[in-house]
């Protein structure tokens, strides 16, 4: 049974199961808690006019005290609930500020379907390339256009799915991720859809030449010898040779495939081009290429966190990458990129799933662990930028980014559980 209790009547030991307004707009990170200290009780009293106490989860000795106030309290059965179990009295405020989990899930599923379709093509493309067969670039164009449209509609969901990585399937997943990242970056740069499609196509095909690199070199778990590295460096040129006569591909697409490892200082490969001879589209894809590469687990090293990868990009920027483009990319990805695992000051662990364009330090976080680092059976989205926090003392804030391996967090498993529904 749930009993409505006015805040001034609360006693320590009562189990608060519902508030008088949405949980997501409260300073309490998770729904349902035992009132166990005076500071917490003052916080509830400063936030709510009344709450609902669950008599079944409240200790028996405290339930006795509930009887003395039950005559003035209203017994409240479960009804008119939203999906998260709260009874909302201020529905207008709720509509304006709640981050809708159902909409998020719907967008994630749509983005997953578009991604999986393209992933199937990438596997086919790489297989045909290795076997010396003709590649269907018309199909690639259609899939890139679909991805581009999907990113416009489901940007954050598409970005989170780039965390679906596998050490054993690096080349295929990397090609897909660089495509998504390049489309996202190009969109942030304000490029028209026709140009986005060209960048996305070049990004999808950029590593096709790796299928002509011997597997012993491509998948070597240790450091490459100088001779092996020279073989690896040949992949952009081999990729270009594979598709240079394809009438469906523009000069811009071919330039991306051939020159994505060129660097501004002329120390890249295969042609040692300098800044003025590297195309604008190629400069864009070279940034997304290295970002995804260094955040991925590969046969010879573990990936960095997104936050650390952006710092590395900034360090490498002067000699290797266009300064203005790198700075724009960092702003696009955000201080806490989608997919980052973060620890809040409270000790809770979450994953950044949506950026906030006006509050870069306050993304939407999917909480996955409590302060004791135990998994939640039901994940909750916390909008750190909600205006409801403005008047609260204990605002949820990000304390640090962390490596998922620190707490054995399986990002792929979590994404699968959220997107394969």
pLDDT-derived band at 166, boundaries 50, 70, 90: confident
Strands 349-354 and 341-344: what pairing?
antiparallel
Given a cut of 80, whether residue 210 has pLDDT beyond it is: yes
User: Which candidate, 419, 322, 421, places its Cα nearest to that of 111?
Assistant: 419
**pLDDT for the residue 316:** 94
Q: Closest Cα to residue 191, out of 262, 254, 286, 284?
A: 284
Query: What 8-state DSSP symbol labels residue 132?
Result: T
Q: Rounded to whole angstroms, how far apart are CA atoms 15 and 23?
A: 15
pLDDT value at 43 more than 80: no
- Range in 98-107, 123-132, 305-314, 404-413 with the lowest mean pLDDT: 98-107
Question: Cα(368)–Cα(353) distance, rounded to whole angstroms?
Answer: 12
The pLDDT value given to residue 78: 38
Q: pTM, whole model, 2 decimals?
A: 0.74
How confident is the model at residue 28, as a pLDDT? Answer: 63
How does the average pLDDT of the chain come out, rounded?
85
End-to-end, the C-alpha distance of the chain in Å comes to 32
In angstroms, the Cα distances linking 211 to 131, 196, 206, 345 are 9, 25, 11, 46
Give dist(CA 124, CA 375) in Å, integer.
Answer: 37
Residue range 77-95: average pLDDT?
A: 34
CB-based contacts of 409, cutoff 8 Å, min separation 6: 341, 349, 368, 369
Of 75-84, 138-147, 407-416, the least confident: 75-84
Confidence of residue 185 (pLDDT cuts 50, 70, 90): very high
Give yes or no for residue 75 having a pLDDT over 80.
Answer: no
| 119-163: pLDDT as tens digits | 999 999 999 988 888 889 999 999 999 999 888 888 899 999 999
Report residue 6 as tokens: 């006015």
pLDDT score at 382: 86
Q: Please tell me which residue, 75 or 21, carries the higher pLDDT value.
A: 21
For 372-381, what is the mean pLDDT? 87
Greater confidence (290 vs 75) lies with: 290
The closest alpha carbon to 258, from 247, 245, 269, 274, belongs to 269
| Spatial distance between the Cα atoms of 6 and 19, rounded to a whole number of angstroms | 11
Determine the pLDDT at residue 76. Answer: 43
DSSP-based three-state secondary structure for 17: strand
| Residue 66 CB-half CA count within 13 A | 25
pLDDT of the residue at 67: 64
Segment 10-24 mean pLDDT: 80
Range in 29-43, 159-173, 271-285, 372-386 with the lowest mean pLDDT: 29-43
Q: Which residues pair with 389 in a beta bridge?
A: none
Torsion angle of C-alpha atoms 212, 291, 270, 221, degrees rounded to 10: -50
Specify the residue for token string 């967090």: 409
Which pLDDT score is estimated for 98? 43
At residue 89, the pLDDT reads 30
Name the token pair of 160: 């989170």
- CA neighbor of 410 nearest in space, from 136, 140, 165: 165
- Residue 92 in this model has a pLDDT that exceeds 70: no
Q: Percentage of the chain surpassing pLDDT 90?
A: 51
Two structure tokens written together for 109:
């599923």
Q: What is the mean pLDDT of residues 109-121?
A: 92
265: three-class secondary structure by DSSP: strand
Residue 23's pLDDT is what?
62
What confidence category does residue 18 fall into, taking pLDDT thresholds of 50, 70 and 90? confident
What is d(CA 240, CA 209) in angstroms, rounded to the nearest whole number? 7
The predicted-structure confidence for 213-272, as pLDDT tens digits, reads as follows 998 999 888 889 999 999 999 999 999 999 999 999 999 999 999 999 999 999 999 999
Pick the range with the lowest mean pLDDT from 1-15, 24-38, 63-77, 155-169.
Answer: 63-77
**Which residues share a beta bridge with 298?**
301
Cα separation, 375 vs 109, in Å, equals 23
The H or E element containing residue 353 is strand 349-354
* Separation of alpha carbons 174 and 86, rounded Å: 42
Residue with structure tokens 């986005």? 196
pLDDT digit string, tens, across residues 169-179: 888 999 999 99
Span 101-333: which CATH code?
1.10.3210.10
């Amino acid at each position: 049974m749930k009993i409505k209790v006015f805040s001034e009547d609360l006693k320590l030991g009562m189990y608060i199961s519902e508030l008088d307004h949405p949980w997501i707009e409260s300073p309490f990170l998770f729904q349902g808690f035992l009132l166990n200290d005076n500071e917490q009780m003052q916080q509830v009293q400063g936030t709510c006019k009344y709450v609902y106490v669950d008599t079944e989860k409240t200790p028996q000795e405290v339930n006795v005290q509930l009887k003395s106030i039950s005559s003035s309290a209203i017994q409240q059965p479960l009804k008119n609930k939203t999906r998260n179990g709260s009874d909302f009295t201020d529905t207008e405020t709720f509509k304006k500020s709640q981050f809708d989990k159902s909409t998020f899930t719907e967008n994630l599923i749509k983005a997953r379907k578009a991604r999986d379709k393209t992933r199937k093509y990438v596997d086919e493309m790489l297989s045909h390339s290795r076997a010396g067969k003709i590649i269907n670039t018309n199909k690639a164009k259609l899939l890139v256009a679909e991805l581009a449209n999907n990113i416009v509609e489901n940007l954050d969901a598409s970005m989170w799915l780039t965390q679906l990585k596998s050490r054993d399937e690096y080349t295929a997943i990397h090609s897909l991720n660089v495509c998504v990242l390049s489309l996202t970056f190009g969109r942030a740069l304000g490029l028209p859809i026709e140009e986005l499609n060209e960048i996305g196509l070049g990004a999808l095909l950029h590593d096709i030449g790796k299928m002509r690199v011997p597997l012993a070199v491509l998948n070597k778990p240790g450091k490459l010898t100088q001779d092996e590295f020279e073989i690896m460096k040949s992949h952009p040129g081999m990729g270009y040779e594979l598709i240079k006569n394809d009438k469906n591909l523009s000069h811009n697409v071919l330039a991306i495939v051939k020159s994505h490892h060129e660097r501004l200082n002329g120390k890249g490969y295969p042609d040692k081009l300098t800044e003025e001879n590297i195309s604008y589209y190629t400069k864009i894809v070279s940034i997304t290429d290295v970002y995804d590469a260094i955040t991925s687990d590969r046969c010879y090293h573990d990936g960095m966190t997104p936050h650390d990868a952006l710092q590395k990009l900034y360090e490498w920027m002067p000699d290797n990458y266009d300064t203005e483009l790198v700075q724009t990319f960092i702003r696009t990805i955000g201080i806490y990129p989608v997919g980052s695992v973060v620890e809040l000051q409270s000790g809770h662990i979450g994953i950044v799933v949506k950026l906030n364009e006006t509050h870069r330090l306050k993304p939407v976080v999917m909480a996955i662990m409590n302060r004791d680092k135990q998994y939640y059976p039901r994940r909750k989205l916390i909008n750190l930028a909600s205006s409801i926090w403005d008047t609260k003392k204990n605002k949820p804030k990000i304390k640090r980014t962390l490596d998922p391996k620190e707490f054995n967090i399986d990002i792929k498993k979590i994404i699968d559980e959220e997107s394969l529904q």
